[in-house]
Amino acid sequence: MDYLFVAGGLVGLYFGAEWLLRGAIGVAQKLAIPTLIVSLVIVGFGTSMPELLVSVRAALTGSSDIALGNVVGSNTANILLIVGTCALIFPITHWDKGVKRDTYVMIGAAVLLLGLVQFEAIGRLAGLVMVAVLIAYILYAYIQGKGTIEELANEDVKHEILGTGFMTLLIVGGLATLFVGAELLVRGATNLARDFGISEAVIGLTVVAVGTSLPELATGIMSAMRKHSDIMIGNIVGSNIFNILFILGVTSVIQPISVDPRFGSFDVPVMLGITLGFAFLLLAHLGVRRLTAGAMLVAYVGYTLALVQV
């Protein structure tokens, strides 16, 4: 049955990501705002829903290592695994100029998390602060995005024209399908991992993290195949911001998260280093070519192997 859960989850994530991407691009055109803003809010939030579900459930059942490992592992996988895979399909060479602002926010969120995991637990006050920062960030991004409407005329990406009803159905249906698919996948994969005697921290950092990051992977691959670099970058940057500020914020407000020392000494520092490396590629306008993408995938394999040694 666990194998069927995994298979069903993968199918759900694939179709959910496809529907969500089409709906998000439609919203960007309908509201006449840059696709980066839509991808940050709708796609970034939507593809982070599996992480929210898993982290809250894990925290409430006393599995804090899975709750925290899920977020840390997902952010690492988002950059090394997903950006690496997508850039192999279509090199990332251009993106909305607003990504500079969002990249700084992504770095700030990662630094904040490094500070929080130096304590024994992430409490409710810290969670409220993270959620408040996220709300302020979204409002600021939206206001700035509305100020660049005139730049849409210069966009070289052809958008699909969708009706309002169909567009809404795609977004709602996509989010719902992602939600169910991730639940099936994580339930099956976690059960299988535990059967092999793997610790909860490693399960959270690998099996659960990759499982809940599959919506980002599927959405990113669809974006790469359609040459939507703005959606691809917004998807990853937005998801990494949401994972820390929203997923951990909401989870710790509902149930404070105890912190294993390994997160402060190894896992989060590695995540921060990878985040800074990715940020450098974006801020220096180097992009992600296929050679760099291949190196990212090799690094992710090495990181995964190193986890069991810590």
Contacts of 136 (CB under 8 A, 6+ apart): none
Question: What pLDDT, in 10s, does the model give residues 271-301?
Answer: 999 999 999 999 988 888 999 999 999 999 9
Per-residue pLDDT at 270:
96
Helices and strands per DSSP (H, E), number in the chain? 15, 2
Per-residue pLDDT at 122:
95
Phi, psi of 53 (to 5 degrees): -55, -50
Q: Tell me the one-letter amino acid at 123.
A: G
Q: Measured in whole angstroms, how far is the alpha carbon of residue 169 from the centre of its chain? A: 23
Q: Is the pLDDT of residue 156 over 60?
A: no
Per-residue pLDDT at 206:
86
Per-residue pLDDT at 276:
97
- Spatial separation of the C-alpha atoms in residues 145 and 262, rounded to whole Å: 39
Give the largest Cα separation in the chain, rounded.
56
Distances (CA, A) of 253 to 47, 84, 115: 21, 33, 18
- Spatial separation of the C-alpha atoms in residues 7 and 71, rounded to whole Å: 23
Q: Is pLDDT larger for residue 239 or for residue 142?
A: 239
Provide the 3-class DSSP secondary structure of residue 91: coil
Q: Is pLDDT larger for residue 99 or for residue 109?
A: 109
Question: What pLDDT, in 10s, does the model give residues 218-253?
Answer: 778 877 887 776 677 877 888 899 899 999 999 999
Closest alpha carbon to 227 in 93, 97, 82, 90? 90
Per-residue pLDDT at 108:
96
Per-residue pLDDT at 153:
37
Question: Does the predicted TM-score (pTM) go above 0.75?
Answer: yes
Tokens of 254: 């509902």
Per-residue pLDDT at 145:
63
Indicate the burial class of 121 (C-beta count within 10 angstroms; 0-12, 13-18, 19 or more): middle
Q: Above pLDDT 90, what percent of the chain?
A: 35
Closest alpha carbon to 11 in 252, 214, 260, 266? 214
Question: What pLDDT, in 10s, does the model give residues 184-223?
Answer: 877 787 787 778 778 778 888 888 888 778 777 877 887 7
The answer to whether residues 67 and 265 touch, using CB atoms and an 8 Å cutoff, is no
What is the pLDDT of the chain when averaged over all its residues?
A: 82
Lowest model confidence (mean pLDDT) among 2-11, 45-54, 219-228, 260-269:
45-54
Distances (CA, A) of 16 to 22, 29, 43, 73, 113: 10, 20, 11, 22, 29
Question: What pLDDT, in 10s, does the model give residues 31-49?
Answer: 766 655 665 566 666 667 7
Q: Is the pLDDT of residue 151 over 60?
A: no
- Read off the pLDDT band of 171 (50, 70, 90): confident
Q: Mean pLDDT across the stretch 138-167? A: 61
Q: Is the pLDDT of residue 183 over 50?
A: yes
Per-residue pLDDT at 50:
74
- Read off the pLDDT band of 157 (50, 70, 90): very low
Q: Is pLDDT larger for residue 77 or for residue 196?
A: 77
First-residue to last-residue Cα distance in the chain: 31
Q: Which helix (H) or strand (E) holds 257?
A: strand 257-258
Lowest model confidence (mean pLDDT) among 122-126, 166-170, 219-223:
219-223
Q: Is the pLDDT of residue 150 over 50?
A: no
